[in-house]
Chains A and B, each alone.
Chain A
């Protein structure tokens, strides 16, 4: 197999630390209704300090799982406290459902079990509900509104090309890219060339 043929076939597990063992089990298994499918319990091993731990997995569909590490006798370090702010919440898990009816049913299930649905938003390519787990981790369930198109791919390439080129130019002048407007302007030049080339 050439390395050009390589692709991934989905998520096996996404893992995060938990600092609340009972609450995590009750939330994912009982509130969300995800099956607990595996648990490693082990003494800490390997080089350096590593506490004894539990590593457990919940089925999140299509062969994927969400997994947690719980470290025995290890206090939660300050830098791993999840803050309900945009940069912390950027790290989140978004599960997929297929239909509006399923999304509404998830909303009802969670709300009926006392989970606050923070938002329900129909944004670019997905309609989603957002909520938090016992650690405060940001969670999302969404239904895709459409598949990604060829134009999405080429547009994404141009957006990032414009942003990276601008960052490099500004860094050379000792400046920092702090707003999106110059990116849009630089991208306008890239799109303009592409449009003119097609004529």
Chain B
């Protein structure tokens, strides 16, 4: 099942989308109903520094909601996997 992070289409979340596009390993789905989606088939894995996010944005990065299971979400690494 697809792993997915919804990202509200508001300016302060642009760095999250840009960071995810830059580091790869995911696809970015354009905004529908006000939400972008960062998606992958089995796993999304991001590092805060590689995304270029400060702590405020990193710690609210999932505020738009997600689908999957959080395996890890520490100070620097986030890993969300498919629920199968």
Contacts and interface: CB of A to CB of B under 8 A. Distances in A.
B33 A185 contact: no
A149 B9 CA distance: 10
Interface string A2-13: 000000000000
A195 B33 contact: yes
Contact of A181 (B12, B34, B70): B70
Contacts, number: 71
Contacts of B4: 188, 192
A189 B56 contact: no
A181 B10 CA distance: 21
Interface in B26-43: 32-35, 37
A198 B33 CA distance: 6
Contacts of A145: 11-12
Contacts of A169: none
B68 to A, nearest CB: 8
A198 B6 CA distance: 15
B77 interface: no
Interface residues of A, number: 30
A24 interface: no
A195 B4 CA distance: 13
Contacts of A124: 12, 56, 60
Nearest to B11: A146
A42 interface: no
B65 A185 contact: yes
Q: Is the interface of A mostly helix, strand, loop or mixed?
A: helix
B56 A121 contact: yes
Interface in B45-74: 56, 60, 62-67, 70, 73
A162 to B, nearest CB: 8
A199 B35 CA distance: 13
A195 B10 contact: no
Given A125-B12, A155-B64, A198-B33, A188 B56 contact: no
Of A145, A181, A190, A192, the most chain B CB neighbours within 10 A belong to A192
Given A188-B65, A191-B6, A154 B34 contact: yes
Contact of B10 (A152, A187, A198): A152
Given A151-B10, A155-B8, 5 more contacts: A145-B12, A150-B34, A181-B73, A194-B35, A197-B33
Interface of A: 121, 123-125, 145-146, 149-152, 154-155, 158-159, 162, 181, 184-192, 194-195, 197-199
Interface of B: 4, 6, 8-12, 32-35, 37, 56, 60, 62-67, 70, 73
5 contacts: A124-B12, A152-B10, A154-B34, A187-B6, A187-B64
